Amino acid sequence: MDPREIRRACLGRLEALAQERESWVAHWRDVSDTILPRRGRFLVGDRNKGARRNRKIIDNTGTLALRTMAAGLMSGITSPARPWFRLAPQSPALARDDSVQRWLADVEAMLREIFSASNAYDALAAVYEELAAFGTATMLVYPDFDDVIACETLTAGQYYLAAGANGRIDSLYRVYSLSVGQLVEQFAPAGPTGARDWSAVSPATRTLFDNNRRDAWVELVQAIEPNPHHRPGPGPAWRKPWRSVWIEKGGPDDRLLRLSGFDEFPAMCPRWNLTAPDIYGTSPAMDALGDVEQLQAQEKDKSLAIQKMVKPPLNVPANLRGNSVVNPLPNGTTFYDLAGGPAPPVATPLYQVQPRLDEMQRDMDRVRQRIRDAFYVDLWLMISQIDRAGVTATEIDARREEKLLMLGPVLERLHHEFLDPLIDRVFAIASRAGLLPPPPPALAGQRLRVRYVSMLAQAQRAVATGAIERLCGFAGSLAAADRSVLDRIDFDQALESYAEAIGVDPRLLRPDEAVATRRAQRQQNERQADGLETVELAARSAEVLSRIDTGHRSALTDILANVTGALP
């Protein structure tokens, strides 16, 4: 591989991707300035700076609404406190196999433990903020020796994306800085003898390191893209399906910091809303940006009106100029001479300001509500925002289902563009690390699918459970008149469909073989019980008959005679 060719190709593509992204930057800056000032990095040198960034924010309704939305997405889609995904085989028959169920449950537990032990949930929280603010988020997942995985989130302005023929993001470029010490530690680590391999690092960086200027900054480029030199089967890392190229931007043309590869695309790049063929998505913050800017302007106007009412501009007579002093402060004292002459000059308001604050406040409240609606705050805080008593759980469920209709497309996009590749990536890393138990023979050659059982996913499927409940309830009503109608319903299938819709652990339902065995045993017990009742009835009847006097003619003796052909 020629380093010059790779370097030239990557830097050339970086320039093209930067031009393609340029039209989005101004919009991202506006969102960052007015809603989420601590996110968004649009200059390589914008790092580790603690200067105040929220000077354009007077009313923080938009910021608080965005944080509420990000927290709602976190708890509703990938809550660390409860299971939010399950694995299942493609074949429904295999899903009932006991060994398959046990193996899937063990793998799910292992994956959840990996998520909990790593920084994954911290990264997920940042992803939801990025999505709500900028419409596009990026999270990188790397193998890690200590925690199995390590996640890194990027903010708007730090990365450049490109999509493949299927519309999925398959290339990521970024330009960022590392300190000299970080760069040397990562790309020229000390060997067992303490010596370093300086072949990848530029002479300028080595000089800075040798001169103990380890906190100086060096600009780097990372490129992750489909590998044109990929070859199936075992081989060096640079022949894997995705190649990763690290370049020291100011370094020599014949050097690469690192050339390696990935078996899976390591970047998860979900978009909130997408208009094809766009690469970057749009967001709720972009939809609410006009209202947010209007609210800032109204807040300024209201503050100015109050200031003019409390401290109006003064109309001061000219003869008070000079040594005379007018004290306009509360309880201020102004001295003037009463000896002779006309009435003393006074300062009066230039004009009377009487702002209609109530009307201004009502209009601002309407703008605030539009901002909250854009971020679905009424969905995340539904119960706390109900302002009347006597609300039933049924009404709350109905409201939630109504609100979730608006999130349906977004939730499906997050599943396909974010959570599916995330779980696939973590599963593959754990498998290569030997952390997963060997699969049962029944799963040989079978593909697995992911089922999401988060609160939002279950709420989306609540329509199916309601239909099952209504069908069974209606059938029960009809059965009061004709029980044969129940023969039309497969209650076993209804139970399985209901359990799948609400995300119940499939191990809670017995396999078909176990159910058949239990039912056969129950039928045998019932037959035995019926036989015992027959024998007991016959014994009681015999005892009663043995006590009857058949020495005299009666209806009973006539019956016996007909049976035996004899009369007493």
pLDDT digits (tens, 9 = 90+) for 390-408: 556 565 556 666 666 678 7
Residues 6 or more apart in contact with residue 99 via CB below 8 angstroms: 440, 442
CA distance 128 to 66: 9
Residue 75 CB neighbour total at 10 angstroms: 17
Q: From the DSSP assignment, how many helices (H) and strands (E) are in the chain?
A: 16, 12
- Give the number of other CB atoms < 10 A from CB of residue 300: 12
How far apart are the C-alpha atoms of 465 and 4, rounded to whole Å? Answer: 60
pLDDT reported for residue 568:
47
Rounded Cα distance between 132 and 539, Å, is: 80
Nearest residue to 69 (alpha-carbon basis) of 137, 139, 128, 126: 128
Q: Please report the DSSP string for 219-269 in residue order.
A: EEEEEEEE-TT--SSS--GGGSSEEEEEEETTS-TT--SEEEEESS--EE-
**Rounded distance between C-alpha atoms, residue 280 and residue 134, angstroms:** 9
* Residue among 242, 255, 240 nearest 202 (CA): 255
How far, rounded to the nearest angstrom, does the alpha carbon of residue 156 sit from its chain's CA centroid?
18
Tell me which DSSP letter residue 502 carries.
T
Nearest Cα to 464, choosing from 438, 487, 494?
Answer: 494
Digit-coded pLDDT (tens) for 207-240: 999 999 999 999 999 999 999 888 887 878 888 9
> Which residues of the chain fall short of a pLDDT of 50?
323, 384, 567-568
Beta bridge partners of 173: 160, 223
Q: Residue 25's closest CA among 178, 223, 160?
A: 160
SS (H, E, C) 186-198: HHCCECCCCCECC
**Alpha carbons 465 and 64: distance in angstroms, whole number:** 34
- pTM of the complete model: 0.79
Q: What is the pLDDT of residue 121?
A: 96
| Domain layout of the chain by residue ranges | 524-564
Mean per-residue pLDDT of the chain: 83
